[in-house]
Structure 1
Amino acid sequence: MARCLDLSGTWEVRVPGAAEAPRPIRVPDEPPVPLGRQVPSAVYRYRFELGSAEVALPGARLELDGVLGGVRVRLNGADVGHRPAGMAPLALPVAGFLRAGSNDLEIEVRAPGRDGAERALWGAYERPECLPAGTYPPGLTGPARLVLFDGVTITGVYWLVRPEGPLVPGEPPAVVHVRCRVAYVATRAVAGRCRLRLRPEGFVAPGVEAAYDVEATPGEGAWDLWCSLPSPRLWTVWERGRPHLYRLEVLFEEEAGAAAPKGAPGRGTPPAGAKALGSGQPAPGVACWTGYVGIRTVEFKDGIFHLNGEPLFCRGACLLPPPRWPGATGGRQAAAFVRRARTLQLNALRVYAHRAHPAVYEAASRLGIVLWQDVPLTGDPRPGDAEALRCQLPGWVQTVGAWPAVIAWSASQEPAAPPLARAGGPAEAAGGSRRWGPVRWPALLRLPVTRRAVRAVARELAELDPGRPVIERAGAFNLWRGGDARLFPGRWTVRAGDPAFLLRVVPYAATLVSSFGVTATGQAAFARAVMEALRRRRAQPSGGGFLFALNDAWPGTGYGLYDAEGRPRPAARAYREACLPARLLAEPPRRPLQPGGRLRLPLWLVNDTARRLHGSGRWEVRAGDRLLAAQTFLCEAGPGSVVPAGWAEVRLPASPDLPVVLVLRLEAAPVVAEAVYLLPLAAGGATTGRVAAAAPEGEEPRSHGPAGNPAGGAFVLRGGGGSPQHSH
C-alpha cells in the first residue's frame, strides 16, 4: 500500500523577529515576503489530517522539490532534521513523527549568514551578473508532499548507455547495453521481481523487456540492472537528425512468500527461464517509475564535446533563472525558453548555476538541444559548502541526470561577470547586503582551499554519473591544451575587447567559450562577432561558445537576448544570423578600409548539419543602392565541416560617405541563408592601391573537417539588415 499526500496549497508564513503577524500564502506560487526584501529566515506552517491506517504504514518521507536556502523541519513539535542550502530535491524520513488526526508541520528556510556560510550554494540567485544582491528571500520554491508506503518505493533511476563494440561516427551501433541503477527505499527486507521496459516513443524501432529477481534491504539502496537494445535509433541535436527518445518503465512487484535470491544484497540476478513480459497493466501497489532514455554517447576531449563519436560545435547561450519567483513558473513558461533557443538556431544551452524547471529538460530532450548543467557552487566555496553539496549530488543525478539532453556537468562556475546596476531596484542596498560582505582572506590564500573543495565535488559527481563528462571549473582556461574561457570585454580597450584578436592570441585557452557577453549597448555586434570568429577558427578546432545570456533574470538592462518580459532585443536577430547551421561566412578586415582601395576577403562555407550540401552561393558588394561587384559560384561542403568558398574582391568607392555592405547568400536545398556585413571605411584617407585583406595576399584559406573550424576576423563589423531564413 502506498499513498502520496500533496501538501501544496495555502500555508501560513512568518518572519522571525518581524512585527507583522503570520500571513497565508500559496506554496510554491508565492514568496514568503516581497522580492527584494532581505530577511534572515522564513518559517512555514501547514496542518494536515491522517487516518489511523495511514499512520500505521511503516514508511513515511517528506519530499521537498525545491528550496532556496537551508532547511530545518519540525513535525508535531519534534525536530525531524535539517539540510544545508541547495537546489536538489530533499527527502526526510518522518516515520514515527506522525499521528492520527491533525499534524502540524513547520519548515524554517534560512538565508546565508553574514559570515558567508552557504552563500556559495545559492548559485545564480547570488550571482551579481544575474540578479541584484538580496533580490530573492529564502523560501519553498517547489511542491511539497508526504509519501506513505509499506515495503519498497522507487525514488529514482539512473541510466547509462554503452555501445557494443567500437563506435563509428555517424552510424548507430548494432546493439547497445543500457544500465539502469534503480534507487529505492525499503521498510523491511523484501524479495520480488523488477521489470524493465524500454519502448520507442513515436517511431518504429525494436524495444526490449527484461525481468530480474531482486532483493531489497531495509533503508536506502539500489539495484544495478542491464538490458540490451538491438538496432537503436540515436538521440542527437536537431540539425543532425531526429532526437529519438525511448520510454523507460521500471516496475517492482513483491512476491509473497518468495525466498530472497542468493547473491549480494541490492543487486539484480536474472531469474531462471526468464520470458518476455506481457503488456498488461501493473497490479495495484506495484512500485513504478517512468522516464525517458536517449541512446547517445558523450565525451569531452581537448575542450570539445563529442556527441555519438562526432565533434559538436556548440551554438549556445546561458539560461538564467526566470524573472519571477521560481515556484510561480509553470511548465509552459519554462519550456518557452527552450523553444526560443530553437528559434534562434541554437543547439546548446548552459543551465547557469541553478536547477531549471523539469519542463526545460523535457523540451530540450524532445527538440534536440543539448544542456550543459551547472551545480550551484559559485564564487570561492568553503570546504563546508563543498561537503554540503556532495551530500546533494545523488539528488542532482537522479533528477537532472535522468534527461537525455543533459550531456555534461560543471562542478563550479567561473568568477562573476561585471555586475548589473539597476537604479531604483534592490541593487541600491547591495553595499550593505548580508550576502556581499568583505572577504576575510586574500584571494591567493583561498585559492588552494577552493581548488581542493571543487575537485572533491567533481570527483564525486564523476563517480555518480560516469556517462557524462564533468568540467571541474567552467571558464578556467588552459594555455597548453583545449580548455574553456570566458569573454567579457568590460573596460578593456577596443583591441583587447576584439574577440578575434583574443582568440588569435590565446587559441588553446579558448577552445570552448563557456560564456561571453556584454549588456544591451553593443550586444548585437559583439554576439555576432564572437560566434562567427569561433566558426571561422583556423588556429585549432573549436568547440563553440555560449552567449551570456539567453534571458534576463530581472527587469531592466541586462545581458539577455530576451528581456524580462520575453521581448527579443536587437541582438537576438544578429545572433540567430550567426548561428544558422549552414551559411556562408566572410572573414572581415582587421583594420578600417581605405576609400578607393581594393577589398579582398576570404569566404567560408560552414555546414553543421549531418548531410552534404550542394548548392550555389553569391556575394555582392554594394555602396548604397549601387552594385559594385557580384559573383555567383557553386559550393559544396560535407557534414560537420568548414571549407573555403572563394574570395570577395572589389575596388572600393573613393567617396567615404556611402555605406559599403557585403551581402552573402547561400542556396543549397533545403537551406536558404543570407548575411549582411557592414564594412568599416576609414574616415578621410587618400586612395591607395593597397589591398586590405583579412589574410595575407596569396594565402588561401585552409579547409577543415568535422573536428575543426577556421579562426577568424576582427570585431569591427556590425550586423546589417537582411532576412535570414533557414528550413530544416
Structure 2
Amino acid sequence: MTPTPLDSPDTPEALPAEGWLDVPESAHIQPALFPDRLYWGEHLRPLNHQAWWYRRVFAAPDALPRRARLHFEGVDYFAAVWLNGRLVGQHEGGFAPFTLDVTEAIRPGDNALLVRVTSPWDPPNPRGSYPIDHVLRGLVKGLYEHAEGVIPPDVNPIGIWRPVWLLLDDGFSLDAARVRTAPDGTVSVRLTAANAGDETWEGALLLDIQADNHDGPGVQGRYALALPPGVHTLDYTLHIPEAHLWWPWDHGQPNLYRLRASLNSAEGEQSERVETFGVRTVRLERSPRCFTYFINERPVFLRGTSYMPGLYLSQFDRDALARDVALARDANLNLLRVHVHVSPPELYDLCDRAGMLVWQDFELNWTHDPSPEFEARARALQRRMIEMLDNHPSVMTWACHNEPTMVFTRRKNLERHPDPALYADALQQDPTRSVFICSGQMEKDWRRAGDLHSYYGAIWSARYTDVYRHHPRLPTEFGFEAPAAVETLRQHPEAWERLRHLEGQIETLWEYQAELTRYHIEHFRRLRAETCAGYVHFSLNDLAPQVGCGVLDVARRPKGGYAALRQASQPVLPALEHDGRRPVALWVFNDTPRAYLKARLSWRIYDAADRLLLEDERTLDVAANAALRVAEADWPVAPRDSARVELALHAADGAPLAENCYRRPFQPLPRPKGYPWKFDGYLGCKVFDHPAAPSLADHNIAPLFRLVPLAAREAIAEWALRQRMPLWLLSAVSR
C-alpha cells in the first residue's frame, strides 16, 4: 500500500516503484498503521487528505473459464480498480459489496490488481457551527466524525476492510435472491439470474427450503428453465407446511429456514445461492395519537437501544458482534437500532438467531449536501442497503436520515434533497416494512415519521423529570453522556490528561445517567397504555474512551446506566409513577404473551433510618402484553420521608416475578454542572465542569450575539434544540 496526494493523477503510471507498505488484510488504514493511536491526534486527519493504493499479484489458472469477476465485500469509501493496467470499474459506498466483470482484463498466470481508495474530508461550511453543521456532509457514510461525544473529530475510516474474491465460472449465475413470506407458510422467491454467454442456457432450477434451527418440515421445487443471454428476474412461490414463525425472543422462538437455489444442467450444478430467512410479518399501526408495532399480528412493545459496534468496523468479527448482542439481550432489550450505518453482515445473522429486532438507519446523519447530484448517489446506496438486508426477519423498520434538521433552520435535506426521494424509494422497494423519512425532530409528521428524540435532563433541560409532561408515540433516542471507567481512561493518556478532573465524580455522573435512564424508560412503558409503541435508548456503548452516551464504555466496562437499563427493561416489572415531587400510582408492565392471574403486588416504604413506614399489597390479574395501572399512590407518608420504596410482584403460586426499588425518588438528582456546554474540541466530547473548557454556545457566533450573556445563550440554545415550534413555522424560518 502507498499514498499519493488526492489531486495527483489517478492512474497507475504515476505510482512509485518502491516504498510500499505491507498492511493486514481486511483492515481499515487507521488501525493498520496506528493500532495504539486510533482516536485522536494530528497523525489521523492527514490520512484522508491522500489517496491510498493497494496492489496484489494473484495467479489465475492456465485454462480460464468463460467469465471472471472480482467481488469486493467492502471498500471504505471510493474505489477505482485496475487489473493488468486496465480500469475495470469504480464504486462508492463503504458498506456495500460490489462485483466487477474482469473477463477481458484477466490473463492466465500472474495478474496485477491495483485499487485506489479515498475517503476525503468535507470542505468547511462557512455558515455552520461546530459540531453540528460545520460541514455539509458529502459522503453517504454515518461513521465519520460528528463529534459531540460520538465520533472524534479526526476519525474518518478508510481502506479495503472486507475480503476480496476472484470468481470464475462459465457465465451462468444466481446473483440475488429475495424472499417474502406470509404467516400461512407462503414463500415468494425472486431470483436474479445471469447468462453471460451468447446462447440460451437450458436446464433446471432447484429450490430447496429446509428448517435451519428447528425441526419443522420443508419444501422443494424443481422447474425447467431456459435462460437467454442477459440478466433476468425469476419469480416462484412455494408453501411450507406447518410453518414455524419467527418471533423476537420475548414472544417466542426465532425460527429460521434456509433456501438453497441452484442452476443445474447436463454438465452438473452451474450456480448456487443460499439465503436464510424467517416466516414473519411486521406492521406499524400509525395514528395521530398512538403507534403500535405488530409482529405476526401480535402487538410487540419495543425495548431497544442504539448500536454502533465501533469506529472501525474491520475490528469487529463475529465473536465481537455476538458479545454485543448478548450484552443487549442481557439488558432485557428486544431491539437494536443500528445507528446511522450498516453493520457487518454477521450482525444481522446474529440478530436473526437471537430474536433481536433491528431498526435499520440509512447512513445519513445531520446536515448533508442538498443537491440533486448527492440525492442520486444516496438513492443508489439506500437501494443497495435494502437489497442486502431484505431477507433478514430481524430487520423491521427503515429510517432514511437521522436528525436532518438538527439545526432547525437547515431543512433542505428534509424538504428537498435527498429525503423525500429516499422515503418514496424505500416505500416502493419494500412495502413489507415501516419507513421513516427521518428519525428525530419530526414528531408532528406522524404519517412519514412521528418518532421523538427526547433529551430532557440532558441537552434539553435541567431536570429529567420534565419528560413526565410529554407523551410521545415512539421515543427513539434519550440518554445522558457519562465518562468511561477510570481503568479505561487510564489506558489512554491523551484522554486521561483531559478528563482526570472527573476522577472523583465518575460514580456521581454514572448515578445520574442511571436515574435519567430509568425514569425515562418507566415513563415510556406507562404510556403503552395510551400512546407509545416502545422506546430506543441512546446508546449501548461508546466508540472511544472518553465521555459518551453509552452505558458501556469502549472496553465494554459497564457504567451505572447499564444496570438501570437492564432493571427498567425487564419484560415483567412493577413500577412507581411519580413526577419527581410526589407519588402518583403503582403500575405493572407485562411485555410478554403470558398473563398472570391472581398475581400479588406488594410495596414497602422506609425512611432514612431504615424504619418501615408503610407496607401493603394487592391481588390483581396481570394481562398479557399490557401496561396496567394498579392503584393510586395516596400514601399517608410524606414524600420527603420516603427514603426507599420497594416493590415486589409474585405469581399466584408465590413464585417471584420481578422486583423494583427506588431511593429518594421524590428528590431527583440535579443535572451535573457544566453539562451540556463545556466541551473539549480535541476529544470531541463534553467535559462537565472543566474550568478551562469553552462553551459550545461561544463557538462560531456572530459578534452581536456575544452581547447576550453566556448563560442566556445556553438556555436559548436548549430551547431551540427541543424544536417545539409548529412545522410550518420551522419551515418558514428555514426559508
Asked whether the two chains share a fold, i.e. TM above 0.5, the reply is yes
Whether 1:499 and 2:483 are equivalent positions in the alignment is: no
Instruction: Using the TM superposition, name which of 60-69 and 364-373 deviates more.
Output: 60-69
Over 3 Å counting, the alpha-carbon distance change for 1:95 and 1:357 in structure 2 is: same
Aligned counterparts of 1:304 and 1:384: Cα–Cα separation in 2: 37
User: Residue type of the partner of 1:158?
Assistant: R
Does residue 1:515 correspond to 2:482, yes or no?
Answer: no
Q: 1:162 to 1:70 in 2, by over 3 A?
A: same
CA drift at 1:287: 1.4
Write the deviation string for residues 124-172 of structure 1: whole angstroms up to 9, x where unpaired: 3343342112313421111111111113222221111134xxxxxxxxx
For 1:538 and 1:295, the matched residues in 2 are separated by 27
Provide the residue aligned with 1:294 in structure 2: 278
Distance 1:238 1:643 in 2: 22
String of CA shifts for 1:238-272, please: whole Å, max 9, x gaps: 1111111112211221357xxxxxxxxxxxxxxxx
Residue 542 of structure 2 is aligned to residue 552 of structure 1: yes
Residues 640-655 of structure 1: pairs in structure 2 closer than 5 A: 640-652=625-637
Matched with 2:345 is: 358
1:334 to 304, 314, 321: 321
Specify which of 189, 197, 200 is matched with residue 180 of structure 1.
189
Q: Give how far 1:470 is off.
A: 2.0
Which residue identity is paired with 2:479?
A: G
> What do residues 35-58 of structure 1 show as CA deviations (whole Å, max 9, x unaligned)?
45122322111111112212xx23
Shift of 1:61: 1.9
Q: Label 1:601 to 1:470 Cα distance change in 2 as closer, same or farther (>3 A).
A: closer
Please say if residues 120 and 378 of structure 1, whose CA atoms lie closer than 8 Å, have aligned partners that are also in contact: no
Could you tell me how far apart the structure 2 residues matched to 1:447 and 1:291 are?
A: 35
Instruction: Judge conservation of contact 1:112–1:118 (CA < 8 Å) in 2.
Output: no
Amino acid at match of 1:407: M
Aligned equivalent of 1:191: 202
| 1:92-143 CA distance string (max 9 Å, x none) | 2222011122111111111135447873411133433421123134211111
Distance 1:571 1:337 in 2: 16
- Residues 1:372 and 2:359 are matched in the alignment: yes
Is residue 582–residue 671 contact of structure 1 (8 Å, CA) maintained in 2? no
- Residues 85 and 118, structure 1, Cα contact 8 Å, conserved in 2: no
Q: Which moved more, 1:513-522 or 1:330-339?
A: 513-522
**Distance in 1 between the 2:232 and 2:326 partners?**
38
Is 1:304 aligned to residue 292 of structure 2?
yes
The 1-side partners of 2:378 and 2:61 are apart by: 37
What is aligned with 1:464? 429
Counterpart of 1:662 (choices 645, 652, 664) is: 645
Instruction: For residue 399 of structure 1, give the secondary structure of its aligned residue in structure 2.
Output: helix
Task: Spell out, residue by residue over 1:69-103, the C-alpha distance to the aligned partner (whole angstroms, 9 max, x if none).
Answer: 11111111111121223411121222201112211
Rounded to whole Å, the distance in 2 between the matches of 1:345 and 1:444 is 37
SS at match of 2:602: strand
Residues 529 and 220 of structure 1: is their aligned pair in 2 closer, same or farther, counting only changes over 3 Å?
farther
Pick from 407, 410, 413: which aligns with 2:402?
413
Post-superposition offset of 1:413:
1.4
Partner of 2:689: none
Deviates more, 1:211-220 or 1:177-186: 211-220
Give the one of 85, 102, 107 matched to 2:110: 102
Distance 1:90 1:548 in 2: 32
Find the residue that maps to 2:22 and give its secondary structure.
strand
Distance 1:150 1:636, change over 3 A: same
Q: Does 1:65 align with 2:73?
A: yes
Report the 3-state secondary structure (helix = DSSP H, G, I; strand = E; otherwise coil) of the residue aligned with 2:366: coil
Q: Are the structure 2 counterparts of residues 677 and 180 from structure 1 closer, same or farther at C-alpha, using a change threshold of 3 Å?
A: same
In the other structure, the counterpart of 1:707 is none
CA-to-aligned-CA distance 1:465-505 (integer Å, 9 cap, x gap):
2322222111243337471010124443335872222x2xx
Per-residue deviation, 1:185: 3.1
Cross-structure match for 2:686: none
Amino acid at match of 1:299: R
- Aligned-pair Cα RMSD in Å: 2.7
SS at match of 2:618: strand
SS at match of 1:475: coil
Contact in 2 for aligned 1:156/1:399 (Cα 8 Å): no
- 1:280 corresponds in structure 2 to none
Q: In structure 2, what is the equivalent of residue 47 of structure 1?
A: 57
Secondary structure in 1 matching 2:390 = helix
Offset, 1:653: 5.9
Which of 485, 491, 495 aligns to 2:452? It is: 485
Letter in 2 for 1:154: L
| 1:671 Cα offset (Å) | 5.7
Q: How far apart are residue 608 of structure 1 and its match?
A: 0.6
Q: Tell me the residue number matched to 1:146.
A: 166
Which structure 2 residues correspond to residues 198-213 of structure 1 after superposition, within 5 A? 198-213=209-224
**Which of 616, 620, 632 pairs up with 2:600?**
616
How far apart are the structure 1 equivalents of 2:238 and 2:328? 35
Q: Which amino acid aligns with 1:338?
A: V
Match of 1:604 in 2: 587
Instruction: Give distance in 2, aligned partners of 1:552 and 1:98.
Output: 45
1:33 shift after superposition: 4.1
Question: Are the structure 2 counterparts of residues 570 and 478 from structure 1 closer, same or farther at C-alpha, using a change threshold of 3 Å?
Answer: closer
> Which residue in the other structure is 2:331 paired with?
344
CA–CA distance in structure 1, aligned partners of residues 445 and 378 of structure 2: 31
2:144 is matched with: 125
Q: For residues 258-311 of structure 1, what are the alpha-carbon distances to aligned partners after superposition, in whole Å with 9 as ceiling and x for unaligned?
A: xxxxxxxxxxxxxxxxxxxxxxxxx5x441122222111011221432211122
User: Contact 1:607 / 1:613 at 8 angstroms: preserved in 2?
Assistant: no
Q: What corresponds to 2:392 in structure 1?
A: 403
Q: Matches of residues 19-58 of structure 1 in structure 2 within 5 Å?
A: 21-31=19-29, 33-34=33-34, 35=38, 36=40, 37-38=44-45, 39-40=48-49, 41-54=51-64, 57-58=65-66
Structure 1 runs not aligned, ≥5 long: 1-11, 164-174, 257-282, 419-440, 594-599, 684-728
Map Cα deviations across residues 641-689 of structure 1 (whole Å, 9 max, x no partner): 12222244433369x5x66111111123776211111234579xxxxxx
TM-score for both structures, normalised by structure 1:
0.76
- Greater shift after overlay, 117-126 or 289-298? 117-126
Percent identical: 27
How far is 1:235 from its partner?
0.8
8 A contact 2:68–2:166 mirrored in 1:
yes
State the 1:355 CA deviation.
1.6
- Paired with 1:464 and 1:446, the residues of 2 have a C-alpha distance of 21
In 2, are the aligned partners of 1:14 and 1:21 still within 8 Å (CA)?
Answer: no
Using a 3 Å threshold, how does the CA distance of structure 1 residues 497 and 217 change in structure 2: closer, same or farther?
farther
1:502-550: CA deviations, max 9, x gaps?
A: x2xxx3xx31112112101332112111111111117832111111111
Contact 2:143 2:156 survives alignment (8 Å) = no
**C-alpha distance in 2 between matches for 1:569 and 1:185:** 52
1:15-51 alpha-carbon deviations (Å, 9 max, x no partner) = 4479993210012135264345122322111111112
Confirm or deny: 8 A CA contact 2:405 2:441 kept in the other structure. no
Aligned residues between the structures: 592
Q: 2:98 aligns with which of 90, 98, 112?
A: 90
Alignment map for 1:587-598 (pairs within 5 Å): 587-588=577-578, 590-593=579-582
Per-residue Cα deviation, 1:166-214 (whole angstroms, up to 9, x for no partner):
xxxxxxxxx3311111223331232322222222234332321112223
1:442 shift after superposition: 7.1
